[in-house]
Amino acid sequence: MQGAMRVIGLAFLLCVVWKAEGQMQVKRPRMLLSASDVQHMRESMGKYAPFDQAIDNAKKMLDQAINRPIDVPVPKDAGGYTHEKHKQNYKEMQASGVLFQITGDERYAVFVRDMLLTYAALYPTFGRHPKAASADSGRLFWQTLNETVWMVHVAQAYDCIYDWLKPADRAVIEGKLLRPMASFFTVEHAATIDRVHNHGTWMVAAVGMIGYVLNDKNLVDVALYGTKKDKKSGFVRQMDLLFSPDGYYTEGAYYARYAIMPFVLFAQAIENNQPELQIFEYRNQILKKALSSALQLTDVSGRYIPINDALKEMSILSPESVLATDVTFQRYGGDKGLLGIAQKQGSVSLDGAGLFVARALQGGKGPFEFPYESVEFTDGARGDEGGIGILRSGPVSDQSMLVMKYTAQGMGHGHYDRLGILFYDHGKEILQDYGSARFINVEPKYGGRYLPENDTWAKQTIAHNTVAVDGKSHYSGVYKIAQQNHADRHFFAASDPDLQVMSGKAEGVYKDVSMQRTVAMVCDNTMPNPVIIDVFRIDSKSEHQYDLPFYYMGHLVSTNVPYKACDSVRTKLGSSNGYQHLWKEAEGKAAGSSTVTWLNGGRYYSLVNAADSSTEVLFTRVGASDPNFNLRNEPAVILRRNASSTVFATVLESHGSFDPVEEISFGASGNVKEVKVLASTTEATVIEINGTGSLRWIFAVVNGEASTEASHSIAVGGKTFSWKGNYWLWKK
Amino acid sequence: MQGAMRVIGLAFLLCVVWKAEGQMQVKRPRMLLSASDVQHMRESMGKYAPFDQAIDNAKKMLDQAINRPIDVPVPKDAGGYTHEKHKQNYKEMQASGVLFQITGDERYAVFVRDMLLTYAALYPTFGRHPKAASADSGRLFWQTLNETVWMVHVAQAYDCIYDWLKPADRAVIEGKLLRPMASFFTVEHAATIDRVHNHGTWMVAAVGMIGYVLNDKNLVDVALYGTKKDKKSGFVRQMDLLFSPDGYYTEGAYYARYAIMPFVLFAQAIENNQPELQIFEYRNQILKKALSSALQLTDVSGRYIPINDALKEMSILSPESVLATDVTFQRYGGDKGLLGIAQKQGSVSLDGAGLFVARALQGGKGPFEFPYESVEFTDGARGDEGGIGILRSGPVSDQSMLVMKYTAQGMGHGHYDRLGILFYDHGKEILQDYGSARFINVEPKYGGRYLPENDTWAKQTIAHNTVAVDGKSHYSGVYKIAQQNHADRHFFAASDPDLQVMSGKAEGVYKDVSMQRTVAMVCDNTMPNPVIIDVFRIDSKSEHQYDLPFYYMGHLVSTNVPYKACDSVRTKLGSSNGYQHLWKEAEGKAAGSSTVTWLNGGRYYSLVNAADSSTEVLFTRVGASDPNFNLRNEPAVILRRNASSTVFATVLESHGSFDPVEEISFGASGNVKEVKVLASTTEATVIEINGTGSLRWIFAVVNGEASTEASHSIAVGGKTFSWKGNYWLWKK
């Protein structure tokens, strides 16, 4: 997956052979479950603990559900009772269908039938949802997204009880509910079907699956190839466009986790109905790569990297992640690393894939461990729209992870954060991405939707660990422009575990300003933990204000910057572009290298910058202009410099230990004392790092064209430094 | 332990029979280890996992230590390298002595000897510590406290190698180090020996243990009975005075954890040297009660309730807690509940007691569970200086715990927080006590000592969940006065698990102001979790400003209070008594009952107050006037009312659920909608609670003399409420 641009693989011909309806004697179920899955599941009961647990959980849920009166409420809210109730209903129907198949207990079939008949009676009476925020509104839910998810579940439930149902009931359910809803999607929301976007994926999955259930070739074809069936849109086209050749999903890991679910669900249905399409092989096994890249974009605790509009708590424990893991394990020959994920998940999906994983966990020789690695994923359908790099060092129990984002915008949920970085260490966020401003489904918080502060704060450049110029966001925060542009990979080199380096470039994020950021993870036996070197080079002919924030997590311990504390009256840092949400807590001018040290999770972290008296150091906290208490009040240190061309050179060192239970603290000061920029030319940037003992490092990175072969030399104060390749680290 | 005042038990006669020195043929070791302990430990190697682990840990520590050059640095800092090094040295010596006894490997004896000889060479050259902050300074450490801890460890180490040492080395170690240090304690710090305080306990333990080691009756007698040997001070007197008859340690749980260590250590040494004193039986087994009460004052995760100057992270995992648990288990007949604690600790002490526990854990039938209960502990040596009450409900996996503090001041580490409450739920702090402002041993944070903000903020009344009057702290924040006064228990009733109530009173904390607070924990089958009722009654003839803060933990979700947000410019709430450390984030006037809802750990919490338009509601955050970033920036809601006599009536309800991984939220609004004060007279206070559905409760509490037998009736708007006893809850 490392390497330069990829050429998109030629889509192999999808040879669709549809049996004429009259000839078909459909063997059911055949959505997520096949008849042979059901047979295996019946035979396996009592044998595999995680699978038994999945059955038990479903039974418990249904035991309660069956004893409650059926409630199909008139749609009212966007995150309150009626919203949650319709979600609960589809989950219960889906599980009940599966239980009927496994146990043969008719109570489960009755439950699904009665619920569907209730929906069938009411659905025709519902108009557009009263909380509809846009044209993209459903009838049961405020947005079609939820409505398609409803349909994906109901298609499975209906499939499970189809043979058991009386034809008259089928006629009602199909005539009053399923077909009208399918029409609602294909007619009123044709644009969404043809949209290359996760909402589109859910919709084609819903339409396609209901197509298979109803044995309706037209619906299936629309789902697979777009409303015009010209393959310019639809599921297959989405598989081409929504992932890079490496499997990176353009909205980022949090949305990959969500988007992958309809891909996997629909792919399973396709495989069970049209195996000749070989959907899991499509585009060099792109679905496998999609999951793999999403999992690499988690920290070792399993939480997805919160780039773009992401909720930080979201992890591999989510139901979508469990399903995708299980299906991928089943369909792609049982990758042992995935069992490490499955083990952490502690649960399996209630289907053939889940059974497959449960069996492998029990039979295989553990412990299983997902192979977290240093890896780069390209962005864009052709892999030529930048990318995202991850450097890792150390075992899962104490791993350092550095992420740099030099992707494209990532559609509407993308942030203006080109060349932003995130750092994790020892199981903790150390330099954070704020993620999104949202309390998902929490009704009193703006109906559970993205908060207004998501736009005014979370998306803005200053909310990220990257440079904001002249107090503005990248591309002036204009989505249309941002979406047409991407950052670029410069190079990614992770083969030497002691010196891993990646570099990205961003041109045109601001007019006449070029940016390049290079970050290195260095392991050295004189340092207790990996050291991060961060060289942010900015090139411009005219003078600008450059702000580089570091959203550190933890409690500030000390700084060598002489500062004035704003601890009597507090004011905002600015009035727009996110600055209005920052309180200024203190400000100072660096005198020589500036050091800021904080404490997090029993470890100290020091950020040492090659600052000087021209560099202002601002200590800020999120939370201004926030009348509804929507934001988390978290700190940052911002380096501000007015210059034309400049370099922010920074070392991040973790050191020492604090154990409040043992009452032991040591190493509260780091080893690195000074960072200096020796030179920065069109050819290369060279910095010097000095510290305690004999610590003296020179780090150089090439600014021109990347090449592992080219030789470079640069003269600094009478000395000439020479090296071959894209970077060079010299240690005294 | 419930119940009224206790009469202190008559100290039974301690019959001391000291053998004349000439007659003694001392069998060693005999500090924490006896010769028979050593025999058992040798025989048990390889048999009991936690004990083997303790040996392994010690061996690992010593493997490193023995291979390092011995370093006895010239004392320099109060929390930096030299401080930590001297701590490390005593830990290593103590463990090395034990390992020598168990393994017979002379390398361990050599290590102790060489280290002691190095100390003996240098100790005479050290003057008072350069960072001495008071008269109470040591030579190795900035305070004698650490120095006595050093001696307690060294006494054990020396005892372990005594027989092995050559007489000439003994002469040097005793003549240059141990006896001079003992004299330094008994002569220059005689006042500390006679002080009834945890520093005093460590000192008598140090002096007494070195007395046993050196076979010096005088030192032992001074330790046991004070410098005048008149039993008016010394260890035995401390056992009389530092604990209440229930075992409550007057400085609170955090300090109990620390103070108990010298008690336990010295008691073990006394038992091994003068078993005729029956020290573990003294004062109705007060040492057992001391541990038991400290453990009851932990939350279910094992962290000590952070009242007074406490660090919140401190837990039962601390070495002192492990030692106390093991010794108590051994000496008091093997209480199974303590095995629950030992199991959570996951480690045992490296001595006979630790072996005893390891054996019990392996042989006993688990799972073991410490019996967390609703319990009251009285304060004061006679149990007549107020107390502290704990109400609990639910299993350890999901327990609600409410603590109210109506103790005495608790010496120099006490806070001005009479009638303060803390609430825990579901493993989380929900209403917090700030604890102390300190980063223990973190050198850049004020040398690791208590920060200046500990006095200006953490100790002040406004920093606690209790009422501050006229912007001042209790007793005007004057320690001398506060230390002479205490709050009072009114009643404590926890026998009905569905209605547990406790009530305390505070007279004279402010001139002419009387306070009474009653809190109830109510379980009701219409409510998902226990509900807290809080009735804070204030009586005064003149008008005052009353502030009642609730330091809620979590993210504010919603409030029905119309407020003005101070989100553009932020100012301080006041200028002194802790108010200068609060930012005002918003202010409003209540209109009817005020509700504030927040989210913590997947659960919603609502505080509903019987407020009206005379009540100002202030939203604040800690962190103003904090130029060194020493404070945590945490929120509170403060109810402010100007009145003479008044009642703050509050209900705290936990409700609903938020699961960001499953993306499910429900019940973001609570059931309780209204709280009203119906009446408050000298006889009783009556409040009404109304909510959704048919929720209507009337709660009454007696204000006059407590009696479970007395009948009461009070007329409210034409209705008369009658009941018997101290409180009454009527549900519609």
* pLDDT per position as a tens digit, A127-153: 999 988 777 899 999 999 999 999 999
Burial B308-337 (b: 16+ CB within 10 A, else e): bbbbbbbbbbbebbbbbbbbbbbbbeebeb
DSSP string for residues in B608-642: EE---TTEEEEEEEE-SS-TT--S---EEEEEEEE
State residue A339's pLDDT score: 96
pLDDT at A268 over 80: yes
Mean pLDDT score, A10-20: 36
> What confidence category does residue A7 fall into, taking pLDDT thresholds of 50, 70 and 90?
very low
Mean pLDDT score, B386-413: 97
CA–CA dist B609, B601 (Å, integer): 23
* pLDDT per position as a tens digit, B282-339: 999 999 999 999 999 999 999 999 999 999 999 999 999 999 999 999 999 888 999 9
Mean pLDDT score, B682-707: 96
* pLDDT per position as a tens digit, A366-425: 889 999 999 999 999 999 999 999 999 999 999 999 999 999 999 999 999 999 999 999
Q: In this complex, do A444 and B311 lie within 8 Å of one another by their Cβ atoms? A: no
> What confidence category does residue B25 fall into, taking pLDDT thresholds of 50, 70 and 90?
low
Asked if residue B138 lies in contact with residue B174, where contact means CB atoms within 8 angstroms, the answer is no
Mean pLDDT score, A655-676: 94
> What confidence category does residue B81 fall into, taking pLDDT thresholds of 50, 70 and 90?
confident
CA–CA dist B135, B189 (Å, integer): 9
Q: In this complex, do A599 and B84 lie within 8 Å of one another by their Cβ atoms? A: no
Residues 194-223 of B with CB under 8 A from A: none
Other Cβ atoms within 10 Å of A355 Cβ, number: 26
Beta strands A711-716 and A696-702: pairing type?
A: unpaired
Asked if residue B696 lies in contact with residue B689, where contact means CB atoms within 8 angstroms, the answer is yes
Verify cis geometry, omega within 30 degrees of 0, for the bond prior to A319. Answer: no
Mean pLDDT score, A326-336: 93
Mean pLDDT score, A52-64: 97
Mean pLDDT score, B710-730: 94
> What confidence category does residue B559 fall into, taking pLDDT thresholds of 50, 70 and 90?
very high
> What confidence category does residue B432 fall into, taking pLDDT thresholds of 50, 70 and 90?
very high
> What confidence category does residue B113 fall into, taking pLDDT thresholds of 50, 70 and 90?
very high
Q: At what angle do helices B352-363 and B35-44 cross, to 10 degrees?
A: 40
Strands (E), B218-260: none
> What confidence category does residue B4 fall into, taking pLDDT thresholds of 50, 70 and 90?
very low
CA–CA dist B133, A7 (Å, integer): 71
CA–CA dist B597, B635 (Å, integer): 13
Place of tokens 């904001």: A468
Place of tokens 């400003």: B545
pLDDT at A482 over 90: yes
Residue type, A48: Y
* pLDDT per position as a tens digit, A158-167: 999 999 999 9
Q: Point out the least confidently predicted range of A205-209, B84-88, B197-201, B553-557.
A: B197-201
CA–CA dist A700, A720 (Å, integer): 12
- Which residues in chain A are contacts of B554 at CB distance < 8 A? none
Asked if B699 is an interface residue toward chain A (Cβ–Cβ < 8 A), one would say no
Q: In this complex, do B570 and A569 lie within 8 Å of one another by their Cβ atoms? A: yes
Mean pLDDT score, A203-207: 97
Mean pLDDT score, A227-256: 95
Structure tokens at A63: 């035991």
Asked if B627 is an interface residue toward chain A (Cβ–Cβ < 8 A), one would say yes
CA–CA dist B295, B318 (Å, integer): 12
Asked if residue B476 lies in contact with residue B593, where contact means CB atoms within 8 angstroms, the answer is no
Residues 50-109 of B with CB under 8 A from A: 79, 81, 84, 87
Q: At what angle do helices A319-331 and A253-273 cross, to 10 degrees?
A: 50
> What confidence category does residue A25 fall into, taking pLDDT thresholds of 50, 70 and 90?
low
State residue B17's pLDDT score: 38
* pLDDT per position as a tens digit, A558-585: 999 999 999 999 999 999 999 999 999 9
* pLDDT per position as a tens digit, B50-59: 999 999 999 9
Residue B92: half-sphere exposure toward Cβ, Cα within 13 Å: 27
* pLDDT per position as a tens digit, A124-133: 999 999 988 7
> What confidence category does residue B620 fall into, taking pLDDT thresholds of 50, 70 and 90?
very high
- CA of B575: which chain A residue's CA is closest? A568
DSSP string for residues in A642-703: EESSEEEEEEEEEE-EEETTTTEEE--S-SEEEEEEEEE-SSEEEEEEEESTT-EEEEEEE-
Mean pLDDT score, A647-653: 98
> What confidence category does residue B1 fall into, taking pLDDT thresholds of 50, 70 and 90?
very low
pLDDT at A713 over 60: yes
- CA of B587: which chain A residue's CA is closest? A627
State residue B612's pLDDT score: 80
State residue B333's pLDDT score: 87
pLDDT at B20 over 50: no
Q: SS3 string of A510-566? A: ECCEEEEEEEEEECCCCCCCCEEEEEEEEEECCCEEEEEEECECCEEEEECCCEEEC
* pLDDT per position as a tens digit, B578-593: 999 999 999 999 988 9
Q: Point out the least confidently predicted range of A290-304, A528-542, B14-28.
A: B14-28
Going by C-alpha positions, the residue among A660, A531, A518 that lies closest to residue A599 is A660
A255 has catalytic annotation: yes
Q: Which residue has the higher pLDDT, A132 or A292?
A: A292
State residue A10's pLDDT score: 32
**Residue B95 CA to its chain's centroid (Å):** 27
> What confidence category does residue B22 fall into, taking pLDDT thresholds of 50, 70 and 90?
very low
Nearest to A557 among B441, B442, B558 (CB): B442
pLDDT at A340 over 80: yes
pLDDT at A23 over 80: no
CA–CA dist B337, B330 (Å, integer): 13
Residues 236-265 of B with CB under 8 A from A: none
- The SS3 call for residue B406 is strand
Residue type, B713: S
Mean pLDDT score, B655-664: 94
Percent of chain A with pLDDT over 70: 97
Asked if A11 is an interface residue toward chain B (Cβ–Cβ < 8 A), one would say no
Q: Point out the least confidently predicted range of A49-58, A70-79, A472-481, B386-395.
A: A70-79
CA–CA dist A351, A360 (Å, integer): 14
CA–CA dist B499, A501 (Å, integer): 63
B199 has catalytic annotation: no
